[in-house]
Amino acid sequence: MILILSSIIVLLLINFLLIIFLKRLNQESKNESTYVNISVVIAAKNEQENIAALFTHLKNLDYPEEKFEVIIVDDNSIDGTLSSLNKNIGSLNNFYVYENEQENDVGKRGALSLAISKSNHEYILITDADCFPERDWLKACSNKFARDYDLIFGVAPFYQHKNLVNRVSCFENLRNAILSFSMASINLSYTAAARNFGFTKKLFDTLGGYSNTKETISGDDDLLLREAVKKNMKIGTVTNRNSFIYSETKKTFSEYFQQRARHTQTSFYYLVRHQLLLGIWHLLNISFVLSPLMIFINPLYGVLFPLKIILDLLTVKFSQKKFGYKFSVFEIFYLQIFYEFFLIVHFFNARFTKVKWKQ
């Protein structure tokens, strides 16, 4: 009885705090007008089909042309990425293309390091070649940098479609965003999306670049964030509307599970305090989903599952718009169950299967 009541109180308290923390994030998002010099850095590997759309979005950014540059590195592509880059760059004076000829760096760290070394500005923003920034992305990030933040990260939702893989991916992205941005609001940053991620060159040099982040083929973002946390760097979030970075989800469950395995593998190298907090949170939620199996021990266990679903509905309904999503009540119900179940699948995939990098 005491265990059940304690679990209910903890879950109620945590969900209440999540909503309070997210309200604090909204209060921090102010429309200012500071324009710092920014270098947008992109590593492109076999992205020929996305280059034209990428350039369209980059050219539509609402920011003075003389205050930013775009540096794209072709990371040993075997399709027509490089030729497409050169074709689209045209007469753009602040866009630059380079080739990464080194193949000994895991993941895309080598390409990003090359791009950063070629950059002319102190403030670095990173996104991916298959991602599409909204018009106010640079303005919102500039405002944050102007407040002396060493590292920042923003909202990176997926485009929503009707197929199941997309719905699962979008909901998972939303739930992860709710948790990560809430944690960041109380100085417990542990993860950030590489497609909406920035830092100062001073921070990058102080941390030794990516030299301490090579435990996994993925994780150049999360592990650099980890190193910044170790050094007590000032870390901020960017949640302004019209500053999101959108991208498409994977098209098949096979691709989805491979991607999530890479990301989950990175979490094995988080700081211990973050692993403990996340472990407790996810185990608590998974136990609530499985609580109906314990009714034969105590009928009160039957209260835990419906209580969790109600809290999930309220939390998602309150916060989904802030992160660029819209789910119906029915979708939240079944996708939340998928989310908890797939957490277990991702863990075992990351721990016991061979994780592949993008080809």
Does the pLDDT at position 280 exceed 80?
A: yes
pLDDT of 232 reads: 95
Most confident range (mean pLDDT) of 1-15, 49-63, 211-225 is: 49-63
Percent of all residues in the chain with a pLDDT value above 70, rounded to a whole number: 89
Confidence band of 354 (pLDDT split at 50, 70, 90): confident
Q: How far apart are CA 312 and CA 306, in angstroms?
A: 10
Cα 228 to chain centroid, rounded:
16
Rounded mean pLDDT of 131-152? 96
User: In this structure, which amino acid lies at residue 339?
Assistant: Y
User: In this structure, which amino acid lies at residue 224?
Assistant: L
* Residues comprising the chain, all counted: 359
The residue among 179 and 15 whose pLDDT is bigger is: 179
To the nearest whole number, what is the mean pLDDT of the chain? 89
Quote the CATH superfamily of domain 33-162+189-249.
Spore Coat Polysaccharide Biosynthesis Protein SpsA; Chain A (3.90.550.10)
Confidence band of 27 (pLDDT split at 50, 70, 90): very low
Largest CA distance in the chain: 72
Q: Tell me: the pLDDT tens digits for 70-123?
A: 999 999 889 999 999 999 998 899 999 999 887 655 668 999 999 999 999 999
User: In this structure, which amino acid lies at residue 300?
Assistant: L
- Domain boundaries of the chain, sorted by first residue: 33-162+189-249
Q: How far apart are CA 327 and CA 26, in angstroms?
A: 21
Does the pLDDT at position 292 exceed 60?
A: yes
User: How big is the chain by its Cα radius of gyration, in Å?
Assistant: 21
Residues 248 and 159 sit within 8 Å (Cβ to Cβ): yes
